[in-house]
Structure 1
Amino acid sequence: MTQLDERDLTDVEQPKLPHGFRFRTADEAGPNAAVQAHLDAWAPSTYTEEAYQGVRRTAPYSGDLHILVEAPDGTIASATIT
């Protein structure tokens, strides 16, 4: 059995971040930030910048849809690939 779920995103509220936090794309933040976000979330991990560059070369990847949340101190607090 296959199920396809769809949702129109026009009725979704805009996300609100705590003061001082901001959204960044992986393209803006750079590969080091994207890799460090992965390592922080999935430690222990052997993920490397070289592996990330391999992901970037895949057809479905788009750096503007790889969203990071940067904390006031510059660390990445959250990341998702949409």
Structure 2
Amino acid sequence: MSTSMATKVSDIMGDSRLSKDRKIEELRKLRAEARGVQRAGSESAMSADDGLQNDLRVVEKALGELDGDIEEKGAATL
């Protein structure tokens, strides 16, 4: 089953109008969004099996395919 995040990533990766750098930029935005949701989930009573980890994994996989290594910012990363 495809998640909303997987659909967004697929749309970005499949958009031939976007340059590689632009795809990386857009994927990094999605990654920040997914991490924010994951962080909020870790601070609440949300289920551990709610798909948040999978969303992050989908984005990171796409970034890896584009050689868009993740830029870590500070010690507060998950």
Give the TM-score of the pair, scaled to structure 1. 0.26
Q: Write 1 or 2 for the structure with the bigger share of strand.
A: 1
Q: Write 1 or 2 for the structure with the bigger share of helix.
A: 2
